[in-house]
Amino acid sequence: MRSIFLAIQWFFENIMFIPQNFFRQLELSSWTGANIVNWIFMIICAVATVYWCKQLTLHHASGEDDQDTTAHSFLK
């Protein structure tokens, strides 16, 4: 039973953590290079937020959103 857990440990430490080990070594020479993945995710989230707000504005302007408080039967 112990060998199964040792195999899982070996798999994660030697195979799955290769990208993390690469970024850990890269951080010693270039902080920006090591954090490029974080910057990419932040840019994607910023673009998605702007797109979402733009879509909300379009739906509000066209009158598609129902803001009636009696939209649900239990609120009557």
pLDDT, tens digit, for every residue of 26-59?
Answer: 989 998 888 998 999 999 999 999 999 999 899 8
- Report the pLDDT value the prediction gives residue 13, as an integer from 0 to 100: 92
User: What end-to-end distance do the CA atoms of the chain give, in Å?
Assistant: 62
Domain ranges in the chain are 2-61
* pLDDT at site 64: 73
DSSP letters of 21-61? HHHHHHHTT-HHHHTHHHHHHHHHHHHHHHHHHHHHHHHHH
What mean pLDDT, rounded, does the chain reach? Answer: 88
